[in-house]
Amino acid sequence: MLEAMKWEIIHIHNEPDSSLEVHTVEVLVSNIEPKLANSIVRQLNQLCPLDNLRHVKRVQRRTSQGKVELSVILCLADEHEKDTEAVPIGIQPFIRAYNLCPIRTKVAKYPARSKEEWEEQCKIWPTSFHPSTNCDGVATLSDEDMKMIFHYMKVAIQQTKLCYSGAKVLNAAVIVDPVSRKVIASANDQTHPLLTTSEPSARYGCIDRCVATTVPPESHPNTAGSNQDTTLQKFSLRRCSDIFAGVSCLNPWDWAAQELGKQNSLVKRENKFTWHPLRHAALVAIENAAERDRKLFPNSDVSESKSEALDVLLHTTDKCPSKRQKIEEQIIDKEVSDNLKHTEIMRPYLCTGFDIYLVWEPCPMCAMALVHQRIRRIFYALPNPNIGALGSVYKLQAEKSLNHHYSVFRISVPEQDIEELILNTSDNTSQC
């Protein structure tokens, strides 16, 4: 448990990048007569609503020499227009009518996320600040939750080792239902033709396979002898990062350069593909979850009336998804405890409400697939500086246009723990 103490959960905000440096956007402002402020602001809100700048106050109030001075934002400035006097045609009559003198100035582009950031913003133009109401922040996680989260991250990390194949560690994904605390699906990268873990039961009893598929000695830089244990022990995250070359999300374009010709000797499994450049761990896990769904609920015609009744209930109660979910859970629990056969109600819509644990931050393909599949929370341990989509290169959770937004957390795991979890071939799954 001491080990768990050092683990840490970091919420990766779904806001555009955070720093005290204020991102700004240019607007046209003008001083106005305080007496006219009311009607000017009302008209401007109609003429030029500041839809994407709701955090910005329309009016700035200053006191100079005991006199109140007001200036008002007229509209966004055209960023390509060099001429500072240029005013959109739509509000030219308005400006003439009130005899205004527009000048350019800057305002904060995004709402502040911290008090410090807000104070910085207000130095250039007043904004409003609403402390985060994000109900998925780390602060709301109970000790029990944390324990569960760490546990499943360990499961995921151990799984990278279990599919230790071709001297390479693979990414691992575990989809978990946080309510029942059960694993819904799990998977490893399957972009590599040598992979021998396409059986669904691969998670269990993999040790043999692990040994069996371990490395010809020459492919490992640090190998002294042919003893596999030596090979494994000499593996170090720091010393040989090429051991990560097989992690699909880190090196998505490397599939074409993988060892050739060996797949012919592979026994073909029920799986259609012996290798597939897009079968990253997250995508395979989604597929496995869908497969489970199909098996558990073979009748696809979900009882309409029942689910509609449930939906009506949910829809009218609250708009906050977490509350809705709680209510949904309560209803489902009640149904289960009543021992009714209404299993249709429990059928998940895609992966709604489920969490996914990934050892490496996903690439944009996997991250977007998780949006489509309506995952609730993503936990990853290691950032993906190459092409990470959840903070490192892109920040998909901050794209407002998407129809679903998950919460993203990075679990900072001490390096030695990762090494231990990946390498320790003795059974340590009973931790936590």
- Least distance in Å: CB of 55 to other proteins? 22
Residue 126 binds other proteins, judged by CB under 8 A: no
How many residues make contact with other proteins (CB under 8 A)?
A: 55
Enumerate the H helices of 7-82 as residue ranges: 37-47
Closest by CA to 152, choosing from 378, 352, 407, 388, is 378
Give min distance, CB of 287 to other proteins, in A.
7
For 80-105, letters b (16+ CB in 10 Å) and e give eeeeeeebbeebeebbeeeebebeeb
Interacting stretch for other proteins, rule CB under 8 A, among 84-92, 289-297, 317-325, 412-420? 289-297
Residues 4-63 that bind other proteins (CB under 8 A): none
Which C-beta is closer to other proteins: that of 202 or that of 369? Answer: 369
Q: What is the smallest separation between the CB atom of 358 and other proteins, expressed in angstroms?
A: 15
Q: Does 349 bind other proteins (CB under 8 A)?
A: yes
Nearest distance from residue 219's CB to other proteins, in Å?
17
**Residue with Cβ nearer other proteins (108 or 398):** 398
| Integer CA distances (angstroms), 126 to 22, 60, 105, 122, 367, in order | 13, 6, 12, 4, 36
Residue 278 touching other proteins (CB under 8 A): yes
The maximal CA–CA distance of the chain, rounded, in angstroms, is 88
Show contacts with other proteins in window 237-266 (CB under 8 A).
251-258, 260-261, 263-264
Continuous segment of H or E residues that includes residue 293: helix 281-296
Q: Which stretch binds other proteins (CB under 8 A): 71-79, 126-134, 173-181, 279-287?
A: 279-287
CA distance 68 to 55: 23
CA distances from 13 to 113, 260, 373, 395, 403 (A): 9, 42, 20, 9, 17
Q: Which of these ranges, 15-23, 57-65, 269-277, 413-421, lies near other proteins under the rule CB under 8 A?
A: 269-277
Q: Which residues pair with 377 in a beta bridge?
A: 355, 407
Query: Least CB distance from residue 191 to other proteins, whole Å?
Result: 9
Count the neighbouring beta carbons within 10 Å of the beta carbon of residue 290: 14
**Residue closer to other proteins, measured from CB, 62 or 294:** 294
The closest of 50, 22, 12, 45 to 110, measured between CA atoms, is 22
Stretch that binds other proteins, among 86-94, 141-149, 176-184, 348-356 (CB under 8 A): 348-356
Rg of the chain in Å (alpha carbons): 28
Which residues ranging from 356 to 375 are in contact with other proteins (CB under 8 A)? 363-369, 371-374
Please identify which residue in 217, 277, 321, 383 interacts with other proteins, judged by CB under 8 A.
277
Q: Kindly report the length of the chain.
A: 432
Say whether residue 77 binds other proteins (CB under 8 A). no
Cα–Cα dist 319/28, whole Å: 36
Nearest distance from C-beta of residue 272 to other proteins, angstroms: 5
Look-up: residue for tokens 């497969």? 291
- In terms of CB distance, is 88 or 321 closer to other proteins? 321
Residue 166 binds other proteins, judged by CB under 8 A: no
Determine the interface stretch with other proteins among 92-100, 120-128, 272-280, 319-327 (rule: CB under 8 A).
272-280
Nearest residue (CB) to other proteins, 287 versus 419: 287
Residue 124: closest CA among 139, 138, 112: 112
Residue 260: CB minimum distance to other proteins, A: 5
Q: How far is CA 350 from the centre of its chain?
A: 17
275, 324, 412, 420: which one contacts other proteins (CB under 8 A)? 275
Q: Which among 338, 289, 329, 295 is positioned nearest to 310, based on CA atoms?
A: 329
Beta bridge partners, 108, equal 24
Single residue of 99, 403, 426, 430 touching other proteins by CB under 8 A: 403
Q: How far is residue 272's CA from residue 185's CA, in Å, rounded to a whole number?
A: 19
Task: Write down the least CB distance from residue 285 to other proteins, Å.
Answer: 11
CA-to-CA separations, 71 to 58, 218, 400, in angstroms, rounded: 8, 73, 30
Strand, coil or helix: what is 223? coil
Contact 195, 212 (CB under 8 A): no
Among 134, 303, 325, 386, binds other proteins (CB under 8 A): 386
Does 335 contact other proteins by CB under 8 A?
no
Q: Is 402 in the site for other proteins (CB under 8 A)?
A: yes
State which of positions 293-322 bind other proteins (CB under 8 A).
293-294, 300, 307-308, 311-312, 315
How many Cβ atoms sit within 10 Å of the Cβ of residue 127? Answer: 21
Q: What is the DSSP letter of 330?
A: H
Residues lying near other proteins in the complex (CB under 8 A)? 193, 251-258, 260-261, 263-264, 272-278, 283, 286-287, 290, 293-294, 300, 307-308, 311-312, 315, 349-350, 352, 363-369, 371-374, 386-387, 393-394, 396, 399, 401-403
